[in-house]
């Protein structure tokens, strides 16, 4: 459907990692197109450093030399051509929202050297008269909590959907070697700031016992327009390796190659491939295994291997709830494809696949924008920042913003439950399956295959109240002290990783973003107490010493929540603005003119996550809204009472030429450009 927005290098929608920072990530295989673009950008940045050093030696000061300007026009343009290698397209701005392009900046980057060195890179550098606190100190003194209280309104499914849909919008890879001929530092073995390593210091570096957690910087990518903004062209920009659009690339992949690998092309049925080795107890399919074996997923100490599952996003194995959601959507695609095939037996496999994909993409958009986002930012913010749909706006840039990907949408990290409960058919403790500590759920698809399928996990996240956001209890010890990152031997700290990533990306501070959103700047301790509460304000003031030094992720996280929301004013603003442009700048949005008939739109609106669970699992009773927490059985309803989409709206009579009107439209709309 949306492939014409996705370059092969790539105008193709969707996902990649910032290893440790994207929750429980590990070193994932980088797509060849992404690697090529990243290496071009790294060469560009490396050459800039050389030129800057020579200019400093010659002029005894930092200047933008004629040589550097010439490089921007020559070598820099070579970097840009890696991004702009594309075929003709009907779109006015074909790179907006495309994969392997830079995360957009809503405010200018703040590098210590103006170009590429993150905040905190130069030891002893003062910011507003003070050194920035170490992320590890911020985590230890402000973030860490051994207990979390529950939110009686929402279920844990709200948290899990946030991670799932985030993986449909952003994926920032780690820095790659700029060239096979240049040395590349191993970031797991150094505590020095040597590109691409920006280790998280965990002790006083002046002492003999130096200690750190490994951290690799996000990869660089070329700025798209070298002539319009010379400052941004010179600066290090971070990549979104997947398409920004909410287009279900998390199911289908963001490149033609990934898409082909995930499809059941030999079945001639428009379906996705399924696992050939295992099925659930009722014969329902699991995701296929990854192609490269043996995979790095963890294994059951007893019994045969269960490899990592393969899905449209490479992070599908990070946690059991996430894997379960991926499994649900695989089954839903194949269920709808089978129904359309029976209904329209004159449709080709390609038309069945594409029309099913169109429906699945629409359901992702509806569930997210109608059922999820208003609960996160609150009804007032939803009305203010998003409001009713007014049609596609070609002047709106739908690209994911750096602050959204790196800070605002990571608000959910404070709502991660330290325990995964697995429940039985009565939504009670399972007789055979114990609850799992979070660190025992990472990269463990074997638990789904050998421990009852996805049903106990889905019942657990539906039947468990979400963790509440509280400034006095921010992060569970499971994420600050026991975070598992494959390929790294030691346990990691998610709070420190998030703070370090924000500095790596040169995000402006909390106060600048409050001003961006039209909110009052925090100038005094009393101001801070007004927006975040007394106890945490005093901690922040003691650690940061100046309000302008507060990291945006921390500041946004501790704000007092808006009524009916899970975020404070700042993150409600940033998430709301991002969701607005993702919708209004997407010419394939489900409500856009020509996407669906009026009858089809009416049927799509009946879709819900609860209905998808009913249609693809053994669950026979569910909450009407799976994001709302209720007690079993009083707040649950039979699947018979959950609205069902009538796919008859997609029935099409065979035309004389053998290809119906709808089929012809599909062939046109879904051609790769």
How much is the pLDDT for 263?
A: 98
Task: Dump pLDDT digits (tens) for 505-534.
Answer: 999 999 999 999 999 999 999 999 999 988
Mean pLDDT of the chain: 85
Task: Dump pLDDT digits (tens) for 629-649.
Answer: 999 999 999 999 999 999 999
Token pair for 365: 């958009």
How much is the pLDDT for 671?
A: 29
d(CA 247, CA 167): 11
**Residue stretches of the annotated binding site:** 413
b or e along 651-663 (b: 16 or more beta carbons within 10 Å of the residue's beta carbon)? Answer: ebeeeeeebbebb
Task: Dump pLDDT digits (tens) for 291-312.
Answer: 999 999 999 998 899 999 999 9
Residue 240 parent element (H or E): strand 237-240
d(CA 673, CA 669): 10
In angstroms, what CA-CA distances link 227 with 72, 107, 234, 514?
9, 19, 11, 30
Task: Dump pLDDT digits (tens) for 309-368.
Answer: 999 999 999 999 999 999 999 999 999 999 999 999 999 999 999 999 999 999 999 999
**Residue stretches of the annotated binding site for heme b:** 413
Token pair for 127: 């910011």
DSSP codes joined into one string, 642-653: S----GGGG--P
How much is the pLDDT for 407?
A: 98
CA neighbours within 13 Å on the CB side: how many for 425?
A: 4
Q: H helices within 387-454, ranges in order?
A: 402-406, 446-450
Task: Dump pLDDT digits (tens) for 90-144.
Answer: 568 889 999 999 999 999 999 999 999 999 999 899 999 999 999 999 998 988 7
d(CA 372, CA 581): 17
CATH of the domain spanning 139-166+246-648:
1.10.640.10
Q: Are 385 and 579 in contact (CB under 8 A)?
A: yes
Q: Are 362 and 650 in contact (CB under 8 A)?
A: no
Phi-psi region of 304 (alpha: psi -120 to 50; beta: other; left: phi over 0): beta
d(CA 213, CA 197): 11
Looking at 219-223, 407-411, 494-498, 663-667, which range is the least confident one? Answer: 663-667
- Mean pLDDT (whole number) for 271-286: 97
Listed by start position, the domains of the chain span 139-166+246-648
Q: Are 296 and 486 in contact (CB under 8 A)?
A: yes
CB-neighbour burial class of residue 175 (10 A; exposed 0-12, middle 13-18, buried 19+): buried
Percent of the chain with pLDDT over 70: 78
Task: Dump pLDDT digits (tens) for 414-432.
Answer: 888 889 999 999 999 999 9
Quote the Cα angle for 245-250-256, to 5°. Answer: 80
Percent composition of the chain: helix, strand, coil (DSSP 3-state, to 5): 40, 10, 50
Which DSSP symbol is given to 428? S
Taking the chain, what is the end-to-end CA distance rounded to the nearest angstrom? 11
d(CA 239, CA 17): 10
Which value, to the nearest 10 degrees, does the dihedral of the CA atoms of residues 556, 14, 397, 390 take?
-90
Would the CA dihedral through 446, 448, 453, 456 be positive or negative?
positive
- Mean pLDDT (whole number) for 159-183: 84
Indicate the pTM of the whole model: 0.89
Nearest-CA neighbor of 246 among 336, 152, 164? Answer: 164
Residue from 12, 102, 167, 364 carrying the catalytic annotation: 167
Q: Are 419 and 425 in contact (CB under 8 A)?
A: no
Q: Are 435 and 419 in contact (CB under 8 A)?
A: yes
Per-residue pLDDT band at 477 (split at 50, 70, 90): low
CB-neighbour burial class of residue 246 (10 A; exposed 0-12, middle 13-18, buried 19+): buried
Q: Are 231 and 237 in contact (CB under 8 A)?
A: no
Query: Is 167 marked active-site?
Result: yes
Per-residue pLDDT band at 490 (split at 50, 70, 90): low
């Amino acid at each position: 459907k949306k492939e014409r927005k996705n370059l092969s290098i790539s105008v193709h929608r969707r996902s990649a990692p910032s290893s440790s920072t994207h929750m429980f990530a590990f070193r994932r295989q980088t797509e060849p197109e992404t690697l090529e673009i990243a290496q071009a950008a790294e060469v560009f940045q490396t050459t800039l450093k050389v030129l800057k050093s020579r200019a400093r030696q010659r002029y005894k000061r930092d200047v933008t030399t004629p040589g550097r300007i010439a490089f921007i026009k020559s070598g820099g343009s070579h970097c840009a051509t890696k991004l702009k290698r594309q075929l003709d397209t009907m779109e006015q701005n074909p790179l907006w929202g495309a994969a392997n392009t830079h995360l957009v900046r809503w405010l200018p980057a703040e590098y210590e050297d103006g170009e590429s060195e993150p905040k905190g890179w130069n030891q002893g550098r003062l910011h507003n008269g003070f050194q920035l606190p170490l992320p590890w100190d911020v985590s230890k003194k402000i973030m860490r909590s051994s207990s979390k209280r529950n939110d009686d309104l929402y279920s844990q499914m709200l948290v899990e959907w946030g991670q799932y849909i985030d993986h449909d919008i952003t994926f920032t890879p780690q820095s790659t070697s700029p060239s096979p001929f240049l040395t590349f530092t191993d970031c797991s073995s150094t505590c020095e700031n040597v590109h691409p390593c920006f280790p998280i210091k965990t002790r006083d570096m002046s002492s003999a016992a130096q200690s750190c957690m490994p951290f690799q910087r996000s990869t660089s990518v070329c700025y798209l327009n070298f002539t319009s903004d010379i400052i941004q062209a010179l600066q290090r920009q971070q990549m979104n390796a997947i398409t920004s659009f909410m287009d279900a690339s998390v199911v289908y992949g963001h490149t033609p190659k990934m898409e082909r690998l995930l499809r059941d092309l030999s079945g001639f049925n428009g379906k996705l491939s399924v696992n050939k080795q295992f099925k659930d107890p009722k014969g329902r399919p699991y995701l296929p295994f990854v192609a490269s074996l043996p995979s790095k997923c963890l294994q059951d100490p007893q019994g045969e291997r269960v490899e990592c599952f393969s899905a449209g996003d490479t992070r599908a194995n990070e946690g059991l709830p996430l894997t379960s959601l991926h499994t649900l959507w695989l089954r839903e695609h194949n269920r709808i494809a089978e129904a359309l095939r029976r209904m329209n037996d004159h449709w080709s496999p390609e038309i069945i696949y594409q029309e099913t994909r169109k429906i699945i993409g629409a359901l992702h958009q509806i569930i997210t924008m109608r059922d999820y986002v208003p609960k996160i930012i609150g009804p007032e913010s939803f009305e203010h920042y998003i409001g009713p749909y007014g049609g596609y706006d070609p002047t709106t840039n739908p690209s994911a913003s750096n602050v959204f990907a790196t800070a605002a949408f990571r608000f959910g990290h404070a709502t991660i439950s330290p325990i995964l409960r697995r429940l039985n058919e009565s939504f009670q403790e399972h007789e055979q399956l114990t609850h799992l500590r979070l660190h025992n759920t990472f990269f463990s698809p074997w638990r789904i295959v050998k421990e009852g399928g996805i049903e106990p996990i889905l019942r657990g996240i539906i039947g468990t109240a979400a963790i509440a956001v509280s400034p006095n209890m921010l992060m569970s010890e499971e994420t600050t002290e026991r975070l598992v990152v494959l390929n790294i031997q030691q346990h990691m700290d998610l709070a420190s990783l998030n703070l370090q990533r924000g500095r790596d990306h040169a995000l402006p501070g909390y106060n600048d973003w409050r001003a961006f959103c039209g909110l009052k700047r925090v100038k005094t301790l009393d101001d801070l107490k007004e927006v975040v509460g007394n106890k945490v304000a005093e901690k922040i003031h003691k650690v940061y010493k100046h309000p302008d030094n507060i990291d945006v992720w921390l500041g946004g996280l501790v704000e007092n929540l808006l009524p009916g929301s899970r975020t404070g004013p700042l993150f409600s603003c940033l998430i709301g603005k991002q969701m607005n442009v993702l919708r209004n700048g997407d010419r394939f949005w489900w409500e856009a003119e020509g996407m669906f008939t009026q009858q089809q739109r009416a049927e799509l609106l009946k879709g819900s996550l609860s209905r998808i669970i009913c249609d693809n699992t053994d669950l026979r009773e569910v909450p009407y809204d799976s994001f709302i927490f209720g007690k079993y059985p009083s707040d649950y309803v039979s699947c018979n009472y959950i609205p069902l989409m009538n796919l008859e709206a997609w029935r099409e009579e065979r035309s004389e030429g053998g290809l119906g009107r709808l089929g012809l439209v599909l062939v046109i709309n879904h051609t790769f450009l």
